A and B are shown apart, each in its own frame.
Chain A
Amino acid sequence: MEISANTQAVAYLISAILFILALKGLTHPASARRGNYLGMAGMALAIFATLLGNQVQSYGFIIAGVLPGAVIGTVIAARVQMTAMPQLVAALHSFVGMAAVLVAIGTYLNHDAAGTLNPVMMGELSAGIIIGAITFSGSVVAFAKLQGLVSGAPVKFKGQHMLNAAMAVATVLLGIHFGMTESMTSLVLMTLIAFVLGFTLIIPIGGADMPVIISMLNSYSGWAAAATGFTLGNLLLIIVGALVGFSGAILSYIMCRAMNRSIINVVFGGFGSESGGDVSAAGQAAQKGVKSASVDDAIYWMEDANKVIIVPGYGMAVAQAQHALKEVMDLLEARDVSVKFAIHPVAGRMPGHMNVLLAEADIPYDHVIEMDEINSEFPTADVTLVVGANDVVNPAAKSDSSSPIYGMPILEAAKSRQIYFLKRSMNPGYSGVDNLLFYQDNTSLIFGDAKETIEGMVTALKGGGH
C-alpha cells in the first residue's frame, strides 16, 4: 500500500493537531493522560504516514532501528526511578540532538549523490547540525552532572565566554562556507566545533541551575527538529519543533523568573562560586547560634496543630523521603490536622520535580500547592516542616540586599508559628548562602537523614503520642 503525497500531507496535519491537543491536555492533571494518548496517536499517525509515502522504499534498516529502539525505550520507561527523571530527560534530549545531526548528514549524503544540493538547503542543514550537536553534547554534560558521574559544581576557566563566543561564530562561518563551496572540510570542522561548544556551554553551570538547563536543552531539541524540518521541507517537523522549542523556552523563562535571574545570568554566571566578602545579616545572625530539636519536639507541635505545611526540596529526593512523608500526612490527617505541601518552582533538579515525587508517593495533587497560592497560608500554619529545601525559604532573599539570592521569590515559611528544618548538616544551600531562617527564634533544626527523621515521626505518631 502506498499513499499519495496529498494524503500524507493531510495525515501530517492531523498529527500536528493531535500534538497540540496533547500539550493542551497538560492544562490539568485530570485531562493529562488523555493528552498523552493523543500525543501517541499523533506520533503513530506521523510514522505510518511517512512509511507509506512514496519516499520510503526500503525497510531493512528502518526495522533494524525501530525494533531495538522500541524495546530499549519501553524498558527504560518502565524501570527508571522517579528521582532519576532529570537524568533520563537529559539522556533523551541528547538522543534527539544526535538524531538531528545524523539526519542532517544523511540528507546531505543523499542529495550529494543525487546532485540536488543547493545553498539554501545546505544552510538549513548546517543549522540542524549545529543545534543538534550542541543539544547532544550539552545534554551529555547535564546527564553526567545529574547522575553524579562528574561534579555538579560549575567548572570555570578564564576566557571561557570569549572562547564560547568564538566557537559559536566559527560554526556559523564554517556553515556559510560549506553552503557556498560544498567544502567537506568545513562541514566536518563545523560539526566538531559544535559538539565541543555544547560541552563548554554547559560545564560552567552548577547543579542548582539544572531546572533551567533541562528546560533550555528541551528547547534546543525542539529547534533541532525544526531545523531538520526546514532541511527536509517537512512541515510536520517544523510545527512540532516550534511547539517543543517554545515549550522549553517558556519553561526556562519561568525557572529564571522563579530565581529572579536572567537567562544570561544563568548561562554565563555560575552560581555559588562567589563567596560573600562582607559580613552580611546572615553572618551576624550566625553568631546567635541555632536551636536543634528532636523528632518528639516536632511531633508534639504537629499532632495538635490545625495546619501543617511541608516544604520539600531536592534533599527530599536524595533521601527518597516522599513515601515516609505520605505516612506522616495520613497520620496527621487522621488527627484532623490539615496537611499541605508547598512547592517552589525551582525546587529539585527539573521543573515540577517535586510534584512528580509526591505524586509517586500517592499524595493527592490537590494537597500540593504552588508558591503563589500557598504563601498567604504560612501565617496561619502552626508548623512548617522544611524537608531538604534551603534557599527557597531563605528570608534573606527579601531582607538582605547584599545576599546573592536577594530578590528571588521565596516560600514564606518564616511567617509560620513554628518551623522545623530537617537537615543533614549545617552546610549552606546550593547557592552557598547562609539561611537566615535557621536563626529565627521559632525555628529549630532536626539533624539527620531526612528519611530516617521522617520515619521516626511516623513511629512517634503511631505510638499514640501524648
Chain B
Amino acid sequence: MPDTLVALYVFVLSCFIGYWVIWGVTPSLHTPLVALTNAISGIIIVGALLVTGLESAGTAAELFGFVAVLLASINVFGGFLVTNRMLAMFKKKDK
C-alpha cells in the first residue's frame, strides 16, 4: 500500500475516533475543550521542527520554520497552561 493511502487510512479512522470521543465531552467543559484542542493542534510544531532542523535546509526555509516554531510553541505552552488554569477552577461544592 502506498504511503499516501496509509495516511488516508489513518486519517479516516482518526476521524471516527474523534467523532466518538468528542460527543462524550460534557457541555460544561466546552471552553476547556476548545482550549485543549487548540493546544493539541500545536502539534504542528512537529512539522515546524522537521522543516527547521533539516540539515540541508536553506536560510529561507530555516526562517519560515523558525517563525512557525515560535508561533506553534506559543500555542503549545499557552494552550495547555490556560486549559489547566480553567480546569483548576471547576470544583464541586465540598472541595
Contacts and interface: CB of A to CB of B under 8 A. Distances in A.
Contacts of A80: 82
Contacts of A359: 86, 89-91
Interface string B26-67: 111111111111111111111111111111111011111111
Query: 5 smallest A-B Cβ distances: which pairs?
Result: A69-B73, A73-B77, A352-B30, A65-B69, A56-B53
B51 A110 contact: yes
A296 to B, nearest CB: 29
Interface of A: 19-20, 22-24, 26-30, 32-33, 35-37, 39-40, 42-43, 46-47, 50-51, 55-59, 61-62, 64-66, 68-70, 72-74, 76-78, 80, 82, 85, 88-89, 92-93, 95-96, 98-100, 102-103, 105-107, 109-110, 113-114, 120, 214-215, 218, 221-222, 224-226, 228-248, 250-251, 254, 343, 345, 350-353, 355-356, 359-360, 362, 364-368, 370
Main SS at interface, chain B: helix
A46 B19 contact: no
A61 B85 CA distance: 30
Contacts of A364: 91-93
B7 A229 contact: yes
Interface residues of B, number: 83
Interface of B: 3-4, 6-7, 10-11, 14-15, 17-19, 21-58, 60-93
A42 B39 CA distance: 11
B27 A23 contact: no
B5 to A, nearest CB: 11
A96 B21 contact: no
Given A70-B77, A247-B18, A356-B32, 9 more contacts: A19-B40, A20-B21, A24-B21, A32-B29, A85-B31, A98-B68, A241-B41, A351-B30, A352-B27
Main SS at interface, chain A: helix
A103 B51 contact: yes
Contacts of B53: 51, 55-59, 61-62
